[in-house]
Amino acid sequence: MTTGLIPGGHPPDPRPTDGLPSQSRHEPIGLDALHIDDRSRSSVITARAAASFEPVGRSVASARSFVRDTLQGWGFADIVDDAVVLTSELVTNAVVHAGTAADVLCLRSDDGVRIEVADRYPEREIALQGSAASMGNLDREGGRGLQLCAALARRWGVDYTPTHKQVWFHLDLPQRAVGTRTAGPSLPAELLPLADGRVRVAVIQIDRTGAVSAWNEDAEEIFGYAAEQVTGKPLTDLAAWPHTPGTSTGIVEALQLSRWEGSYGIRDAAGRVVPVYASHLRVRDTDGDPSTVCLLVRDHERAVLQTPVRVSATDTTSSAEGQSSDPFEIFIGSPAPDDLDGLLQRTVERSRDMLDADAAFLLLATDDETELEVRASTGLPSARQRFARVPVEAGPGRYGSARMPAVHDDLTSVPGAVPLLNGTGMRSVVTVPLKVEGRLTGSLGVAAEAPGRYSNEEALRLQFAADRIALAVESARLGELERLRRGSLSFLVEASDLLAGTLDRDQTLALMAQMTVPTLATWCAVYTIADQASDPYLSYVLHEDEELIDGIKSLLGKIAPPDPVPTPGAHVWTAPAEAAHQAALRTSMRSLGLNEPATVSAGIGTTLATASAVGGETVVLPLVARNRVIGMLTLGKPSDEHFRQEILELAEDLSRRAALALDNARLYSERTAISQSLQRSLLPPGLPQIDGVEVDVIYRAAGEGNEVGGDFYDVFPIDDSTYGFAIGDVCGTGPNAAAVTGLARHALRLLAREGLSGPAVLQRLNSAILDEGSRSRFLTLLYGEMRPREDGSAELKVVCAGHPLPLRLRQDGTVEAAAEPQPLLGVLEDLELYEQTITLDPGDVLLCVTDGVTERREGTRMLGDDGLAEVLTTCTGLTAGAVAARIMRAVERFASDAPSDDMAILAMRVPGLQS
């Protein structure tokens, strides 16, 4: 169904304007039987409402509801019944008999209401004959609509176009005698509604943009703002609109309706929300500009504005639809809402109307029947109460239990008997249980502001209604729970996958918050605890509105963190809401000043927005991993909102998974830090400065988080004129290979400084490796000693034990191997090694690499010794650092994949004479 409402003005004619004339069938069927009128609309149209309905059976009931709500909103209750009956018949003809969609148009004029029903089946003409009896009789299914039009409407007619057939009727407003419209009985003074000594009625006018255009003196007195402070500001900046379950109407929508009446709040200059009862009337000025006049009184003085007479839901149902044989439909109406919230809201509204009450509420029992959760209410601050919990057994005696009907004549004499109504001004109340197969499933209650309103007779009527709806409510609740559980399983599976996909602590914190906001809560804060002796630390804050994050973080930073209670489950934490209220109050008081008028400033707006964001219920769930509390997950709702139990249970499941993921990230971070610290201890502290020789190294360890692997290098002084250098590769990677790396590097330094020759150093290192037993690993090693000479050259003595041969680059660009291969270490006990002497002339380069460089692969291709030599030929004239860098770039460009092996490059160059 699609609807539209356009107050005031002349509406466009909905009939097609495609050049074809409209055919109006207005031949008389009888002098008295039919009154057909095809005169043009001469009256001034003051409001228009339109809706379209699909060609399905339930559209008939939807059309009835649309017309009823529209006319009641216009204040035409006297003609609602006739209009609903006629609309029902005509829409039935369209959607059931003609099988097309139906368009319903309601037009309000000075002298009555015109309703047009059009279908899209113009070929199905209505036979107009000379006798009204021939149109059909009351026993037939079809043909009654026009008879009813003739009987109930003052004017009616049928119009045809090539695409539409339209039946319309006009109902006049009844002539009312001058005098009383409604009246109530005389009452003793103690039964009259309570009001202040002087009743103040705030009159606020809102222009077409939603901004305040007029603000009277009573409004200044009630809310504390002078007219010039609020004129031109949107009313939404001041209004605290309740989120009523089952409805989607907000303050913006309410200001657009022709009439509206109900409760909401206005935030005063001190930052407090003043509950008000309001009556809105949409008007237009002489220029046709619409605006809304709002009359507001304090909520406890609602009797000044509240409409005293309510039409019984059962009366309207029976008058418009005939007596239904289904007691459930009699009470709820047809069609019944297909969602739980809609059904509960319809129930409380019909219960309130049935007993002419001021408020009604419905609570659903938890699985263990120990608590009741508020799920729907009307006439109460429902946003504050929704999902709040009260115990099933509130106290001793009959009035203290929700398991049986109870009537309270005056709540002031039984304080706390109905905790939900504390502080609401309600005095008399009747509550009845909802039971299915003897099990308590909920509680339904209605309340009034006056005492002594209800007796056992009203309790029996309400109990009868509760019995009719209990099974439907329980069925809808179970369906909702099943959907929630399925969604919860899907949510937890996805959350587990996300948390398992990272071992980064900061990313885990961010994921925890992002999974809860806005799915489970409006805002979230995560506290972490480093160790048992540390206080909780605020690590992460998130709100669905990013602009509020800084304000919440600042607010939480000023209050003590929650206690790290290890007990499972959610614990209510009231400190944020209290701190937010105090901050808002202090900011508002500062803005007032001692001698200055109140101002509505941006600072106040920011503080009040933060207060509203954290002003609702806040719960804390401990993050427990490996029998230790490692943090707290804090979830919050905006002002006056509560968490439902299913959400808290889901949050508890999430907190257990998040705690383990956070602890895993902590352990990984700690072990990574330890590993990296140990690995750094295996690297040389630095390269020595050698006169007459340039030395540079590039080292890359394979694997995430590794700084040292199986490859290693070292350059160190042996004595004043001699320097040792080494580059090696231990079999494998990881910690075991790094252990052999440490053994080799430290043994080389120790043995070389003992004055041993190169072969002797490597033979003793070989013995040390073999002594490691099962932990030993074979090692390829290039070891040498270098002595710079006075003539600018350098003498090198090298031993190449199973390692890739070093390459010598001469100044003329030729490249040649600078040593011969010998057996590797860690395999044979008796090694016969020898050293070779190399002389590097000025400008020559000695390049030493590990096999991670030469065995770099791209598919079936391998860089190899030849590829390395080819790259080295392009390095003539480069410094040692530039040579190493060019080799590394060539290795990286050879393949697109990340390296799978450690790589080390050691370049030594004797500067030329020109250098």
Cα 41 from chain centre: 51
Please list the residues that pair with 817 across neighbouring strands. 807
Residues 6+ apart with CB under 8 A from 177: none
Burial bucket for residue 895 (CB in 10 Å: 0-12, 13-18, 19+): middle
Assigned token pair, 351: 């219960």
Query: Phi and psi of 825, rounded to 5°?
Result: -95, 155
Give the separation between CA 207 and CA 252, rounded to whole angstroms.
12
Render 456-492 in DSSP notation, one character per residue.
HHHHHHHHHHHHHHHHHHHHHHHHHHHHHHHHHHHHH
Q: How many angstroms separate the first and last alpha carbons of the chain?
A: 89
What tokens does 71 get? 């006319």
Rounded to 5°, the CA angle 767-710-734 comes to 115
Pair 506, 671: CB distance under 8 Å: no
DSSP 173: P
**Angle of helix 80-92 versus helix 58-73 axis, rounded to 10:** 150
Report whether 388 contacts 419 (CB < 8 A): no
Q: What does the alpha-carbon distance between residue 113 and residue 106 come to, in Å, rounded to a whole number?
A: 7
Residue 114 pairs with which residues in a beta bridge?
107, 170
Tokens 């089946």 belong to which residue? 121
**Within 13 Å of residue 245, how many CA atoms lie on the same side as its CB?**
29
What integer pLDDT is reported at residue 884 of this predicted model?
94
| Phi, psi dihedrals of residue 839, rounded to the nearest 5° | -115, 120
3-state secondary structure 503-525: CCHHHHHHHHHHHHCCCCCCEEE
- Collect all residues with Cβ–Cβ distance below 8 Å to 453 and sequence separation of at least 6: 357, 428
- Amino acid 801: pLDDT: 93
Unique residue bearing structure tokens 């009035």: 399
Other CB atoms within a 10 A radius of the CB of residue 490 amount to: 10
Q: What is the pLDDT of residue 182?
A: 55
Which alpha helices (H) appear in 734-879, and where do they start and end?
735-752, 758-770, 851-854, 864-872
The pLDDT of residue 12 is 41
DSSP state of 78: G
**Distance between CA 841 and CA 811 in Å, rounded?**
9
* Alpha helix (H) residue ranges in 717-858: 735-752, 758-770, 851-854
Please classify residue 889 by burial: count the beta carbons closer than 10 Å to its beta carbon, then call 0-12 exposed, 13-18 middle and 19+ buried.
exposed
Q: How far apart are CA 376 and CA 644, in angstroms?
A: 13
pLDDT of residue 483: 78
Cα separation, 626 vs 859, in Å, equals 46
Low-confidence ranges of the chain (pLDDT < 50): 1-41, 125-142, 243-248, 309-325, 383, 395-399, 594-603, 915
- H-type alpha helices, 753-845: 758-770
**Which tokens is 512 given?**
């925890």
Contacts of 251 (CB under 8 A, 6+ apart): 235, 236, 239, 241, 264
Q: Whose CA is closest to 264, among 383, 160, 145?
A: 383
What is the Cα–Cα distance from 697 to 891, expressed in whole angstroms? Answer: 15
In sequence order, the 6+-apart residues with CB closer than 8 A to the CB of 653 are 488, 492
Angle at 240 between CA 236 and CA 242, to 5 degrees: 115
Among candidate residues 687, 679, 722, 829, the one with its CA nearest the CA of residue 765: 829
d(CA 114, CA 37): 12
Beta strands in 492-627 (DSSP E): 523-528, 537-543, 571-572, 618-625
Cα 242 to chain centroid, rounded: 19
Q: Which residues contact 806 (CB under 8 A, 6 or more apart)?
A: 782, 798, 800, 817, 818, 819, 846, 847, 848
Cα distance between residue 905 and residue 901, in whole Å: 13
3-state SS, one letter per residue, for 101-145? CEEEEEEEECCEEEEEEEECCCCCCCCCCCCHHHHCCCCCCCCHH
Q: Residue 608 and residue 290: Cα distance in Å, rounded?
A: 31
* Alpha-carbon torsion (455, 246, 7, 287), positive or negative: positive
- Which are the contacts of 72, defined by CB distance < 8 A and separation ≥ 6? 80, 311
Whole-number pLDDT of residue 555: 86
Which one, of 89, 65, 147, lies nearest residue 317 by Cα?
Answer: 65
Spell out the residues 6+ positions from residue 617 whose beta carbon is closer than 8 angstroms to its own: 572, 577, 636, 637, 641, 642, 643
- Give residue 115's pLDDT: 92
- Residues 6+ away with beta carbon under 8 Å from 672: 705
With left for phi above 0 and alpha for psi between -120 and 50, is residue 755 left, alpha or beta? left
List the one residue out of 690, 707, 711, 715 whose CA is nearest residue 849: 711
DSSP state of 98: I
CA-to-CA separations, 259 to 110, 244, 281, in angstroms, rounded: 17, 18, 5
Q: Can you tell me which residue has the tokens 């695409």?
A: 163
Which H helix or E strand runs over 403? none
Residue 117: other Cβ atoms inside 10 A = 26
Contacts of 200 (CB under 8 A, 6+ apart): 218, 221, 222, 297, 298
